[in-house]
Amino acid sequence: MRRESSIETVQPIALDLDAVLADTRPVWRDWLEDAARRVRVDLDVPDDRVEAAAALDAELGDWRPLLERFAADRGPLHFRPRPDVSAALRRLHAAGTRIGVFTDAPRELVDIALAHAGVARLVETAGTLDDVRRTLGDGVTLVRSREQLVTLP
């Protein structure tokens, strides 16, 4: 006699950081303006922040600590917990769902956004979509809106 398992396989999810949890682009744009003013250089970087990071490495060198300090100062103004999102993530995490976050933002900005959104401890991995897929697997469910997140079973 064969028994069916009562254990359900829970599909991992990958959240679009900027669309679902915290839009990091305004802080990024403000920081670029601030950095350009401080170093007195016109920072013409690509819109894709992964590519922009490479350009900043070449132009500014050690720019990441500057971004981290800037984001830490301004994070509370831009990144706030959302009760519906927090509740959905806590529910999914408690059910065993592995949670990743994807974005093109630099890691320093991601970490601050997740902390201020109140979800850092629930997130297993963060990075580009490719990074998250490598960690969670190709079968990950992409979540690109708050509405989609709160309706997940």
pLDDT digits (tens, 9 = 90+) for 58-103: 988 889 999 999 999 999 999 999 999 999 999 999 999 999 999 9
Residue range 41-45: mean pLDDT, rounded: 85
Q: Give the DSSP H/E element, type plus range, for residue 102.
A: strand 99-102
Any domain includes 121? yes
Report the candidate in 30, 44, 27, 41 with the shortest Cα–Cα distance to residue 116.
27
Residue range 43-51: mean pLDDT, rounded: 92
Task: Give the integer Cα–Cα distance in Å for 81 and 57.
Answer: 32
Mind giving me the DSSP string for 42-55? Answer: -----SSHHHHHHH
Q: How many domains does the chain have?
A: 1
pLDDT of residue 5 exceeding 50 = no
Any domain includes 132? yes
127: left (phi over 0), alpha (psi -120 to 50) or beta: left
Any domain includes 118? yes
Any domain includes 7? no
Any domain includes 1? no
| Residues of the domain holding 91 | 13-150
Task: Give the integer Cα–Cα distance in Å for 12 and 34.
Answer: 38
Q: Give the DSSP H/E element, type plus range, for residue 148.
A: helix 146-150
DSSP 20: I
pLDDT category of residue 44 using cuts at 50, 70 and 90: confident
- Average pLDDT of the chain? 92
Are 113 and 85 in contact by the 8 Å Cβ rule? The answer is no
Any domain includes 97? yes
Q: Which residue has the tokens 């959240």?
A: 15
Any domain includes 6? no
